[in-house]
C-alpha cells in the first residue's frame, strides 16, 4: 500500500503536475509523455480527428479544450515515420481527482461520463494503442481506466490486441447497451418499424393539437456559429426552466458549464461539427437539443423541453424530426443517444444499440493493481446504487415542498 501511494504521487507530479504543465517546460519530442491539452498542436490534433478509427465528438479539440479548462492532461502517441504525426490521444486526470482515492491510476477525462473512446489513427491503430499505454506507464501509473468506451469498437479492439501480447486483458465495468440510430435507413420505414402505426398516429394527433392551440409546428436547424449562438440561448433558457434547472444540473446553473458550451458549440459550428435543433409551436420553443457531429456520427448530447407542453410529447416530437433530419443527411451514418440503458423516451425510437462500458487496463503487468482498482470501483458503484433510491426520494420531497 505504501508503494501504491508513492506511485499515485508520481502520477500527480508527472509533466509538471496533472493540473497542467508550465508553458516554459520543454516538451519531450523523442518520447510520448502526458502533456497539457493546451500544448498539443491543434493542427496535429485536427489531423488525427480526421483519421480517427472511431468517431468521438467529445474528443475534438474545440470541445475538449473548452471543457477541460486546465483540469486535464493528455496521453499522446506520436509516430516518427515517415513524418512525425499525432496518432493517439486520451485526455486524463489522476484517479484521486476522479474518485477521491489515492491509487496509482489515470482515468480518462469526461465530466459528463458519456463517451471516452480514445482518438486513434485508423492507419496505425496498434502502434497508437501501444504508445498510449507506454505513455501512461511512463507517468508512473499501474492502471489506466478508460470510462464509457465503445466496447465492441475498433479502438477497444486495438487495446485488447496490445495487452494480449503480454498475456493481459482489461477488466470491464458497467457494461450496458444504449440506444443508437442507424441513419442509413429510410426514416419513415425506421419509425414505422420502431413505433408501429398506432403510436405514430397518436403522435400525429398530438402534433395537430399542438398546432391548433399554439400555432404552426416547425423544426429548425442552426448550423452557422451565429445561428448556433442564438439557438443556444433558447436551449439554455428551456433547460434552466425545467427540472434540471430546479435540481441545479442545467448548464446555465454553472457559469463554467455555460461558458464551456458557448465556446465549444460555436467553435464546432465553424467547422460544421455542431447543430442545435429547435421545435417551435408558433413563435414558442417547446423543445431543443445540442447535436455535435464527428466522422459520420451525430451525438444527442442534451435535450431540453418546455414542461408546460408535456401533454404533446415535445421531446418525442423533436426526436422524430431529428431522426428524419439525420437520416436525410448523407454525411451522417449513425447517431449516439448517449442515454442511459433502457431510457423510456429514446429506446423505443432508436432501436440500434451501442455496447458501452469502462475498461480497467493493467500496466507494468499490474494485474494486482488492476484487480484492486476494479474492486474499489465496483464497491463504489454498489454503494451509489444502494443510495440512489434514498437520494431520489429526498429530491422528490424537496421539489414537492417548493
Strands 171-182 and 143-150: what pairing?
unpaired
Predicted local confidence at residue 264, as pLDDT: 97
Give the model's pLDDT for residue 112: 85
Is 349 a member of any domain? no
Q: Do residue 64 and residue 167 come from a single domain?
A: yes
Residues 6+ apart with CB under 8 A from 390: none
What is the tally of structural domains in the chain?
Answer: 2
Check whether residue 128 and residue 75 sit in a common domain.
yes
Task: Clarify whether residues 326 and 359 are in a common domain.
Answer: no
* pTM attached to this predicted model: 0.86
290 shares its domain with 253? yes
| The pLDDT of residue 372 | 72
- Domain co-membership, 192 together with 142: no
Q: Note whether residue 342 is domain-resident.
A: no
Query: Considering the domain boundaries, does residue 338 fall inside one?
Result: no
Which domain covers residue 92, as residue numbers? Answer: 2-177+355-401
- Residue 98's domain is classified under what CATH number? 3.40.630.30
Same domain, yes or no: 216 and 197? yes
Same domain for 194 and 160: no
Q: Quick check: 61 and 270 in contact, CB under 8 A?
A: no
pLDDT of the residue at 311: 97
* Contacts for 223 with CB less than 8 Å, ≥ 6 apart: 269, 272, 275
Give the model's pLDDT for residue 382.
62
Phi, psi of 356, deg, nearest 5: -125, 145
CATH number at residue 267: 3.40.630
**Domain for residue 22, yes or no?**
yes
| Residue 67 and residue 30 in one domain | yes
The pLDDT value given to residue 402? 40
Of 332, 365, 390, the residue at which a domain comes to its end is 332
- Sorted by sequence, the CB contacts under 8 Å of residue 331 that are 6+ apart come out as 293, 296
Please report the pLDDT score of residue 100 as a whole number: 86
pLDDT in tens, the chain (402 residues): 223 333 333 433 433 333 333 333 333 433 466 889 989 999 999 999 999 999 999 999 999 999 987 788 999 999 987 889 999 999 999 999 988 888 889 999 988 889 999 999 999 999 999 999 999 999 999 999 999 999 999 999 999 999 999 889 999 999 999 999 999 999 999 999 999 999 999 999 999 999 999 999 999 999 999 999 999 999 999 999 999 999 999 999 999 999 999 999 999 999 999 999 999 999 999 999 999 999 999 999 999 999 999 999 999 999 999 999 999 999 999 999 999 999 999 999 999 999 999 999 999 755 666 677 777 777 766 655 544 444 344 444 444 444
108 and 155 assigned to the same domain: yes
Residue 343 lies in a domain: no
**According to the model, what pLDDT value does residue 398 have?**
46
Q: Which of 389, 401, 369 is nearest to 8 (CA)?
A: 369
Answer yes or no: are the C-beta atoms of 74 and 90 closer than 8 Å.
yes
Q: Is residue 161 part of a domain?
A: yes
Residues 156 and 213 in one domain: no
- Is the same domain home to 192 and 315? yes
- pLDDT value, residue 32: 61
Do 33 and 136 lie in one domain? The reply is yes
Amino acid at each position: 500500500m505504501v508503494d501504491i501511494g508513492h506511485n499515485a504521487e508520481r502520477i500527480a507530479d508527472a509533466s509538471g503536475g496533472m493540473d497542467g504543465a508550465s508553458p516554459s517546460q520543454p516538451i519531450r519530442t523523442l518520447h510520448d509523455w502526458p502533456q497539457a491539452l493546451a500544448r498539443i498542436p491543434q493542427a496535429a490534433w485536427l489531423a488525427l480527428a480526421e483519421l480517427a478509427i472511431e468517431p468521438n465528438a467529445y474528443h475534438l479539440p474545440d470541445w475538449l479544450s473548452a471543457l477541460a479548462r486546465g483540469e486535464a492532461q493528455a496521453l499522446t502517441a506520436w509516430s516518427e515515420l515517415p513524418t512525425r504525426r499525432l496518432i493517439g490521444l486520451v485526455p486524463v486526470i489522476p484517479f484521486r481527482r476522479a474518485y477521491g482515492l489515492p491509487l496509482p491510476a489515470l482515468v480518462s477525462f469526461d465530466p459528463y461520463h458519456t463517451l471516452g473512446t480514445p482518438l486513434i489513427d485508423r492507419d496505425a491503430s496498434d502502434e497508437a494503442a501501444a504508445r498510449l499505454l507506454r505513455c501512461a506507464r511512463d507517468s508512473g501509473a499501474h492502471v489506466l481506466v478508460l470510462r464509457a468506451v465503445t466496447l465492441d469498437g475498433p479502438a477497444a479492439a486495438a487495446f485488447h490486441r496490445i495487452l494480449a501480447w503480454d498475456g493481459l486483458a482489461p477488466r470491464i465495468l458497467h457494461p450496458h447497451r444504449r440506444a443508437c440510430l442507424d441513419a442509413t435507413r429510410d426514416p419513415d420505414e425506421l419509425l414505422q418499424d420502431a413505433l408501429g402505426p398506432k403510436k405514430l398516429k397518436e403522435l400525429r394527433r398530438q402534433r395537430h393539437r399542438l398546432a391548433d392551440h399554439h400555432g404552426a409546428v416547425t423544426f429548425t436547424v442552426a448550423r452557422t456559429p451565429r445561428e448556433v449562438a442564438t439557438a443556444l440561448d433558447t436551449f439554455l433558457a428551456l433547460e434552466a426552466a425545467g427540472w434540471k434547472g430546479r435540481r441545479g444540473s442545467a448548464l446555465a446553473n454553472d457559469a463554467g458549464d455555460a461558458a464551456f458550451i458557448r465556446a465549444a458549440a460555436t467553435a464546432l459550428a465553424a467547422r460544421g461539427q455542431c447543430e442545435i435543433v429547435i421545435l417551435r409551436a408558433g413563435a414558442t420553443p417547446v423543445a431543443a437539443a445540442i447535436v455535435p457531429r464527428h466522422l459520420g456520427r451525430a451525438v444527442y448530447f442534451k435535450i431540453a423541453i418546455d414542461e408546460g407542453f408535456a401533454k404533446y410529447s415535445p421531446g418525442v416530437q423533436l426526436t422524430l424530426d431529428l431522426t428524419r433530419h439525420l437520416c436525410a443527411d448523407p454525411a451522417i451514418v449513425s447517431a449516439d443517444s448517449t442515454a442511459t440503458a433502457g431510457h423510456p423516451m429514446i429506446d423505443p425510437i432508436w432501436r440500434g444499440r451501442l455496447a458501452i462500458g469502462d475498461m480497467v487496463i493493467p500496466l507494468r503487468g499490474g494485474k494486482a493493481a488492476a484487480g484492486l482498482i476494479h474492486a474499489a470501483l465496483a464497491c463504489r458503484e454498489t454503494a451509489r446504487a444502494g443510495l440512489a433510491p434514498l437520494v431520489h426520494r429526498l429530491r422528490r420531497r424537496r421539489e414537492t415542498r417548493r
